[in-house]
Amino acid sequence: MISRLAVGLFLLFSAALMQAQKIDRTKPPDTPPLPVYKLPPVFETKLPNGLLLVLVQDNRFPLVTIRLDFQAGSKFDPADLPGLSENVGALLKEGTTSRSSRQIAEELASIGGSLNVTSSRDALIIGANALSENTSRLLDLVADVARNATFPADEVELRKQNRKQSLLLQRSRADFQGELKFNEIVYGPHPYSRISPTPESIDKIDIGKLTAFRDQFLVPNNAVLIVLGQLPPRAKVVDLVRQKFGDWREKPLPAPPKAEFPESRRRLVLVDRPGSVQADIRVGRLAVTRTSPEYFPMVLGNAILGTGTSSRLFNDIREKRGYAYDAHSVLDAQKDAGVFEAVTQVRNEVVEPAVEAMLSNLEMMAKTPVDDAELSDFKNFLSGFFVMRLESQNGLAAQLALVKSMGLPNDYLETYTTRIRSVEPDQILNAAKKYISPEQAAIVVVGDAQKIGPALEKIGKFEVTKVQ
């Protein structure tokens, strides 16, 4: 006689089998709803010298991340010294009044740490990591590098030689030449237009200029210090920061460059690069900053147009037409201005149809609302990618620094995915009409003028310049 338990198991198995047979495997599974991002506990205070301190307790790993951000990026370089901020950053950890570059490296190794300095258009950033038990020693190293760099003469000369060589390599690339000319056109005389040093400005770099820049801009009232990770009790961390940074004297800050930019207009420029077998193509214009109400519609519009292998540019120019290995677009939002830019590289023979295809895709974004399915897919993609970036300590520290340096609201990170998901098709369309439509866009093509000039004539009147 069959037991009731056996009958029950048989019925359960049969029901599960029938349910499995009903699954439609021609459709992808539904994406589960993404939970709202919640920040770990955040504490802020400001030292008497103006240094803003942000503490974030994250007990997932026995690690600490320190990020010291200064408003001291390349836009603060003197007009005749582009690259000064970049070189200050590169040389900060090459020696201080109490440590040589080797001693800094050895001490970092002994605490399981790393320390790097980078410079962007707006900021100069010291980033460091170590095991949590070495929080005090890591803070000491960061303070020493920020406050006491000596810029040793031999390190300065080595840096200058190496930077000249890397600059030669950069200038040999069509994409770099395209970026140089595009930024020059879009940003005009504003310092954002300068994306690299020149051989002449590298020659002018010396210890005095490096020290003067540090003393003027690397000061506590121009900085945000983020300490994130498995930290000691808050009072102890604040006391450690006061020990390392408390006697650092604040100084008057020079006014930043005025946020004045040329009006966007249609302009076609050919950068002549003799012998080039392919062309670098860029189309774009001034767009939005992160504080603009049109920022989130532009984030979605840019993603749909040119982010990833599911984007329109990639599927049209690469997959459908076979013109290029890659085609993408970028929304680059700096503090004072933003830029939208669509980019691809194609062989000379297809320059004309490739440019026309790019312009057609940009026009379509500005004329036709995106459909619900496409919009939903990219909302899911952007929301998930954003939350993933915040999973690492470095990623979270970078985003917290961005919030402070860009003047964004404190709930920016927690409301990001909600604001992405709330964007409607008409908002994207309106933003695209203003910033993605190619009617007022700069078009920069880098290539051999003799080979691709006739093709560009079919697109419109163009200027010819030389590579730099």
Q: Are 445 and 182 in contact (CB under 8 A)?
A: no
Q: What is the pLDDT of residue 1?
A: 44
Tell me the CA distances in angstroms from 215 to 251, 255, 317, 341, 427, one per residue in order: 9, 15, 49, 36, 45
Residue 319 token pair: 């997959």
Q: Are 452 and 351 in contact (CB under 8 A)?
A: yes
Q: What is the pLDDT of residue 38?
A: 87
Q: What is the pLDDT of residue 36?
A: 74
Domain range 267-466, its CATH number among 3.30.980.10, 3.30.830.10, 3.40.190.10, 3.90.1150.10:
3.30.830.10
Q: Give residue limits of the domains in the chain.
A: 42-245, 267-466
Q: What is the pLDDT of residue 28?
A: 63
Strands 267-272 and 442-447 turn out to be parallel
Q: Can 42-245 and 267-466 be said to share one CATH topology?
A: yes
Beta carbons within 8 Å of 458's beta carbon, 6+ residues apart: 352
Q: Are 123 and 70 in contact (CB under 8 A)?
A: yes
Interatomic CA distance for residues 222 and 50, integer angstroms: 8
Beta carbons within 8 Å of 53's beta carbon, 6+ residues apart: 44, 45, 46, 47, 225, 227, 238, 241
Return the sign of the alpha-carbon dihedral for residues 351, 357, 358, 359. Answer: positive
Q: What is the pLDDT of residue 60?
A: 87
> Residue 344 forms beta bridges with which residues?
281, 327
> What is the reported pTM?
0.89
**pLDDT per position in the chain (468 positions), as tens?**
455 555 555 555 555 555 555 556 666 666 666 667 888 889 999 999 999 999 999 998 899 999 999 999 999 999 999 999 999 999 999 999 999 999 999 999 999 999 999 999 999 999 999 999 999 999 999 999 999 999 999 999 999 999 999 999 999 999 999 999 999 999 999 999 999 999 999 999 999 999 999 999 999 999 999 999 999 999 999 999 999 999 999 999 999 999 999 999 999 999 999 999 999 999 999 999 999 999 999 999 999 999 999 999 999 999 999 999 999 999 999 999 999 999 999 999 999 999 999 999 999 999 999 999 999 999 999 999 999 999 999 999 999 999 999 999 999 999 999 999 999 999 999 999 999 999 999 999 999 999 999 999 999 999 999 999
Residue 314: φ, ψ to 5°: -65, -45
Comparing CA positions, the residue from 213, 244, 260, 224 lying closest to residue 400 is: 224
Domain range 42-245, its CATH number among 3.30.413.10, 3.90.650.10, 3.30.830.10, 3.30.70.260:
3.30.830.10
